[in-house]
Structure 1
């Protein structure tokens, strides 16, 4: 059993001061770093990235318990503003992609609206809320490429029960400006392009490359379980591994991520047996 301590409730003042400290620390760290950052393409230049690598979409409007639908509507606006800064991003060899590096701080002055946010395990609303959906989509797509995910933060809380889940629990990335980021480095000799767009119902993403990808990737969930902690709450755990299939048909498995989250609802269904695995492919 993995022991997770009961969350400590901190005052709003302390949390705000803490956020600003970490924001400043990240800014200074990036300022003095030697990271070579990815940049968006100028105009419609695709830099020869005509070979599809991965495409994914996620539903924007979801009916969630005790969540006003106007927050879901506002999320669409927030997503539109954020992806406008990332669409067409070119990740060349040796470069690092960062969500917040280009999206910037989501503020009302920039047009961001109140959306769904999670604070200390409680559902609330805040300007720029809902952008974790973007983090989840990007993480899932990058997981199916040879790009190296160098920074990813898991969700600390499992807020809603699974409803029509198409990807495994924990296969996402939480975002909070700017110190909780999603960063990906291109350690390959090839160039990649990121495209993001909205349609009437979904957030869509596509990654393409300047060369055909010979390896194929799939994500497999193992060891999913739910545990009852001594302080009365439930926690959810799993591991995700990535299985790479080479062009010659041979395969190898590599550890990918491990998730531990506090459940914000009482589990009503029995979890899979310990060690059970589920495969999720492109």
Structure 2
């Protein structure tokens, strides 16, 4: 018989486990020596690095549509904590440190949370959409991602997905964080806002960069292993020179993704063994 974690035995053990890990993270924030970005400005830095938008309301299986409308409210609150943030040389951006704990008292509503292998309602659910968008902007820049997690399962078939699978980030206050560091001599700024149908954002910089990044997907595939379905791919990027017809300076592997899917794909290949890249997913 498989041994069960204490957090699976009774809800109180899960609660204690979460708050123990949060306490450890609070201590790390105080003693690990990072300088966290905290300055915000309503004035835009002069140059745009990358802009992106993602649809607010999507079809997500048979989940309650009201949870998605609640998500829009949650996004609007979290955006207010991030929009305009300045990331100066040597500073680290921390999603959880800026947004804080999502509670009813702050106005957050039940949205969709992905946890323990299932999608379920939870206060503040849906704000991972912001982390997804920010990560997409960041990997189009010379900023350095220092902490990123991704869900170990894919709950719903694609609905108007425009980004490669696995190119986002998940957050859960405060130990499942999304962080990046500015190891350059430039100053960057994140801008976020809601339009009628989309979450929108852009990454800006104080000097015009003479290079850019093109991010692309390779080797996307659905697999059936035993009675379960999985999805894998690789995400790469090219660093290119702007003024020389896109001459490639370097090509870099960003991440390898492998996750169980909770639906039956339209097409898939049968496989006999499970080969999951180590260190790709952490919950």
Q: TM-score, with normalisation over the residues of structure 2?
A: 0.87
Match of 2:20 in 1: 21
1:126 to 119, 122, 129: 122
RMSD (Å), alpha carbons: 1.9
Q: Provide Cα deviations, 1:220-239, integer angstroms capped at 9, x if missing partner.
A: 21222223334x21121111
Q: SS in structure 2 opposite 1:85?
A: helix
In structure 1, how many angstroms separate the alpha carbons of the residues matched to 2:241 and 2:167? 23
1:233 to 205, 212, 228: 228
Match of 1:82 in 2: 78
Match of 2:255 in 1: 257
Match of 2:276 in 1: none
In structure 2, how many angstroms separate the alpha carbons of the residues matched to 1:189 and 1:169? 32
Q: Provide Cα deviations, 1:225-255, integer angstroms capped at 9, x if missing partner.
A: 223334x211211111111112442331111
In structure 2, how many angstroms separate the alpha carbons of the residues matched to 1:156 and 1:61? 23
> Are residues 1:244 and 2:239 paired?
yes
Match of 2:30 in 1: 31
Cα deviation for residue 219 of structure 1 reads 1.3
1:10 to 5, 8, 11: 8
Cα deviation for residue 45 of structure 1 reads 4.0
Mapped contact 1:149–1:185 kept (Cα < 8 A): yes
Match of 1:188 in 2: 184
Task: Give the direction of change, closer, same or farther, for the CA distance of 1:141–1:185 in structure 2 (3 Å limit).
Answer: same
In structure 2, how many angstroms separate the alpha carbons of the residues matched to 1:267 and 1:222? 18
> Are residues 1:58 and 2:46 paired?
no
Match of 1:205 in 2: 201
**Once superposed, which parts of structure 1, at least 4 consecutive aligned residues long, lie more than 4 Å away?**
none
> Are residues 1:156 and 2:152 paired?
yes
The count of residues paired between Structure 1 and Structure 2 equals: 262
In structure 2, how many angstroms separate the alpha carbons of the residues matched to 1:234 and 1:153? 21
Cα deviation for residue 17 of structure 1 reads 2.4
Deviates more, 1:86-95 or 1:247-256: 247-256
Task: Give the direction of change, closer, same or farther, for the CA distance of 1:227–1:10 in structure 2 (3 Å limit).
Answer: farther
Mapped contact 1:41–1:89 kept (Cα < 8 A): yes
Match of 2:273 in 1: none
Structure 1: give runs of 5+ residues left out of the alignment: 1-6, 272-282
Mapped contact 1:40–1:87 kept (Cα < 8 A): no
Mapped contact 1:40–1:86 kept (Cα < 8 A): no
In structure 2, how many angstroms separate the alpha carbons of the residues matched to 1:186 and 1:223? 30
Mapped contact 1:160–1:265 kept (Cα < 8 A): yes
In structure 2, how many angstroms separate the alpha carbons of the residues matched to 1:177 and 1:192? 24
Mapped contact 1:74–1:115 kept (Cα < 8 A): yes
Cα deviation for residue 156 of structure 1 reads 0.9
Aligned pairs (5 A) from 1:134-173? 134-173=130-169
Deviates more, 1:122-131 or 1:240-249: 240-249
> Are residues 1:214 and 2:210 paired?
yes
